[in-house]
């Protein structure tokens, strides 16, 4: 058993750089090892491919915005800092937004909004894949349990909806993302007064008439806000 920690440490180093140099260092660390080199090299490429393929699927807009040369360098660096460890392949990209944020702070070279865009894309997937169950029926107005809030100083919702062309406009934004109970796709929007009011009513169990009496806002406008929230799946109604 004394050689097992050494083996795993050497494999960890190899998987951080699964090319020809990494393969040579791996075999040098285990003199006399007779495992076929082509199979070990294939394993290294296979593990790296999981990370590369996962990142490409999870962060297509980040890839588009930074360009291929920068993207490939980012993927190499990310793989070196965190090789594939989780059995669920999409989870391999979970820490990519934090990686980009740290890199932006330490080295620069990336627009400051790129880590926020990556967090938006990861949240989009996380909401879609959430194990949170959206109830089929409710007894009273209720918030969608998959609703997630992101706050950032850029207008990312409009930027993403427009295909992520150019750069996002600056401006504080409270983004709401949730899984629609019928289509099961991820919906998102920059929170406005109507959406926030509908959510508040759902969370606190407020009736339209009571809100109208307390705020002086026409009850028809309040009902319209609730109806829009229900139609969008942001809130659930009996």
- What distance in Å separates the CA atoms of residue 118 and residue 134, rounded to the nearest whole number? 26
Decide: 173 and 156 in contact? Cβ < 8 Å.
yes
- Residues 185-203 as b/e (b if ≥16 CB within 10 A, e otherwise) read ebbbbbbeeebebbbebbe
As given in the structure block, the two tokens for residue 185 are 């796709």
User: Which pLDDT score is estimated for 30?
Assistant: 86
CATH (one of 3.90.930.50, 3.40.50.10160, 2.102.10.10, 1.20.1290.10) for 130-238: 3.90.930.50
Q: Which two tokens stand for residue 184?
A: 């099961």
Using CA atoms, how far apart are residues 35 and 50, in angstroms rounded to an integer? 23
Q: How far apart are the first and last CA of the chain?
A: 61
CA angle 86/106/61 to nearest 5° reads 55
Q: Which residues contact 234 (CB under 8 A, 6 or more apart)?
A: 143, 144, 147, 176, 178, 187, 195, 198, 199
Cα angle, residue 174 at apex, residues 173 and 175 outer, rounded to 5°? 105
Residue that is written with structure tokens 């427009």 in the block: 162
Q: How far is CA 12 from CA 57, 81, 82, 98, in A?
A: 25, 11, 10, 22
CB of 176 within 8 A of CB of 149?
yes
- Half-sphere exposure at residue 34, Cβ-oriented, CA atoms within 13 angstroms: 0
pLDDT of residue 5: 83
> Which pLDDT score is estimated for 1?
37
| CB count in 10 Å sphere of residue 23 | 17
Q: How far is CA 61 from the centre of its chain?
A: 12
Task: Report the alpha-carbon distance of residue 101 to residue 112 in Å, rounded.
Answer: 8
Mean pLDDT by 10 residues, the chain (238 residues): 72 72 83 81 66 88 96 88 63 90 89 97 96 91 97 98 96 98 95 96 94 92 96 95
CB 145 within 8 A of CB 132: yes
Residues 6+ apart with CB under 8 A from 194: 224, 225, 228, 229
Are 238 and 140 in contact, with CB atoms under 8 Å apart? yes
Domain boundaries, the chain: 1-110, 130-238
């Amino acid at each position: 058993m004394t050689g097992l920690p050494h083996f795993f440490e050497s494999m960890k180093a190899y998987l951080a750089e699964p090319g020809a140099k990494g393969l040579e260092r791996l075999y040098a660390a285990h003199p006399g090892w007779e495992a076929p080199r082509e199979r070990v090299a294939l394993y290294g490429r296979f593990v790296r491919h999981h990370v590369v393929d996962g990142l490409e699927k999870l962060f297509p807009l980040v890839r588009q915005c930074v360009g291929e040369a920068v993207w490939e360098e980012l993927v190499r660096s990310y793989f070196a800092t965190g090789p594939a460890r989780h059995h669920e392949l999409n989870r391999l990209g979970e820490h990519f937004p934090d990686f980009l944020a740290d890199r932006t702070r330490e080295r620069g070279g990336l627009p400051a909004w790129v880590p926020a865009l990556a967090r938006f894309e990861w949240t989009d997937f996380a909401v879609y894949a959430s194990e949170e169950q959206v109830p089929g029926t409710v007894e009273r107005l209720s918030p969608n349990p998959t609703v997630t809030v992101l706050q950032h100083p850029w207008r990312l919702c409009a930027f993403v909806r427009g295909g992520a062309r150019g750069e996002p406009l600056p401006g504080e934004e409270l983004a709401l993302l949730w899984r629609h109970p019928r289509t099961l796709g991820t919906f998102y929007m920059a929170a406005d007064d109507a959406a926030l009011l509908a959510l508040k009513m759902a969370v606190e169990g407020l009736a339209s008439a009571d809100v109208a009496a307390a705020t002086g806002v026409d009850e028809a406008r309040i009902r319209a806000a609730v109806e829009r929230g229900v139609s969008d799946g942001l809130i659930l109604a009996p």
